Structure 1
């Protein structure tokens, strides 16, 4: 089941205009937008959804960890943070992290903002930076691959190992205000890199900037009930 995620937040005393996107089935959202006093209950609901086949012992032991993760993500200013878990035909699970943040970019034209972002990201040879034309407007993608060295005490074999990870990051300037959204997907399940790229593309096709937090854009795809 997909969910329409609608974001409307305040950053440094500035109101960030509303933005919406559809999160695909398999993405489990941490309750970063829930008030601090309500997070223990919300985190428990998150854990039950993340481990639907678990029991009270598992949920009770996992909830404190994910509550700390939620508080860390919220403190970092993320508007959305979640884990993607996708069952495989082989019986395993492909996993990723998915976050959305917004930063003040002081622009009046989203295309000019995107041109500036592309110039900055392209200056780093480690980045594969590209221009995107999305239904919601211009954007810039950045793909980076990194190889990490895992020490022997972190591996099942007891020997040092190397781990390849990938990150997909999309900068989307708001057309409704001087902010830029940043969608980031990280994964170490590189054998399913193509599937994660396709998932990212599907998410980006649903991004919209409603006129207000209460009223969806009449020309956009978000006339259905939202979360």
Structure 2
């Protein structure tokens, strides 16, 4: 998330052109302000990074000649939303274990939450996975029939060892058939988390 409104507007304009790469000004012009406004609202909640992931689910295989063969019947896209926020928490520097234990206790009160302790390279963290089912009315479904809409969310809380904040990584998707791949992606991101200034690390 950019620091100022002007830069957020600029990034929103760039984002919609990438998201709707085959679009035109007719699509980009109204979409950009929508995402810029969304960025303002997200930023006000403490989110410092937000992304929308779109991934092709087309199955591919190599032909005997080495060319890629695409199975058209399997074509589609999987989508997820990812955010990162720094949330103020009452803690002393270095008391990450105590904070993590408190997060486990708080999240475990909801029986729908699957709460797990994580040991990351940067220190202790807490993972919370929640599945939700929503009932959609016939007026918004393609078949004009009531349908269930299921989403899965993984939220990982990582206490700062340097001060009174907790980093909260959140990934949400309705593409539940690809949940395991999204979990792997989140795991890869978490392995890179560090509270050491890269510039300081180079001088050591």
Sort the TM-score into its range (normalised by shorter chain): 0.7 to 0.9
Q: Does 1:66 align with 2:39?
A: no
Does residue 162 of structure 2 align to residue 162 of structure 1? no
Residue ranges of structure 2 left out of the alignment (5+ in a row): 59-73
- How far does the alpha carbon of each residue in 1:60-81 deviate from its partner, in whole angstroms, 9 at most, with x for none? 2321221222222122221111
- Kept in 1: contact 2:132–2:151 (CA 8 A): yes
Q: Could you tell me which residue of structure 2 aligns to residue 138 of structure 1?
A: 124
Does residue 76 in structure 1 map to residue 60 in structure 2? no
Which of 107, 112, 119 pairs up with 2:98?
112
- 1:36 & 1:61 partners in 2: Cα distance? 17
Aligned to 2:136: 150
Q: Which runs of 5+ in 1 are unaligned?
A: 1-31, 220-227
What is the TM-score normalised by the length of structure 1?
0.77
> Which runs of at least 4 in structure 1 moved beyond 3 Å after TM superposition?
216-219
Question: 2:9 aligns to what?
Answer: 40
2:82 matched to which residue of 1? 98
* Matched residue, 1:87: 56
Structure 2 distance, partners of 1:162, 1:218, is 52
User: Does the Cα contact within 8 Å between 1:130 and 1:141 map onto a contact in 2?
Assistant: yes
What is the deviation of 1:167? 0.5
Aligned counterpart, 2:70: none
Secondary structure of residue in 1 paired with 2:47: coil
Q: Give distance in 2, aligned partners of 1:171 and 1:126.
A: 17
Higher relative contact order (CA 8 A, sep 6+): 1
Is the Cα–Cα contact under 8 Å of residues 34 and 42 in structure 1 kept in the other structure?
no
CA shift, 1:218, in A, is 4.0
Task: Work out whether residues 209 and 217 of structure 1, in 8 Å CA contact, stay in contact via their aligned partners in 2.
Answer: no
Which residue matches 1:52? 21
C-alpha displacement at 1:143, in angstroms?
A: 0.4
Q: Distance in 2 between matches of 1:53 and 1:216?
A: 43
Give me the TM-score of the superposition, normalised by structure 2.
0.85
RMSD between aligned alpha carbons? 1.7
Pairwise mapping of residues 185-200 of structure 1 onto structure 2 (< 5 A)? Answer: 185-200=171-186
| Alpha-carbon shift at residue 216 of structure 1 (Å) | 5.4
Q: Which has the larger radius of gyration?
A: 2
Q: Distance in 2 between matches of 1:60 and 1:86?
A: 24
Q: Does 1:215 align with 2:193?
A: no
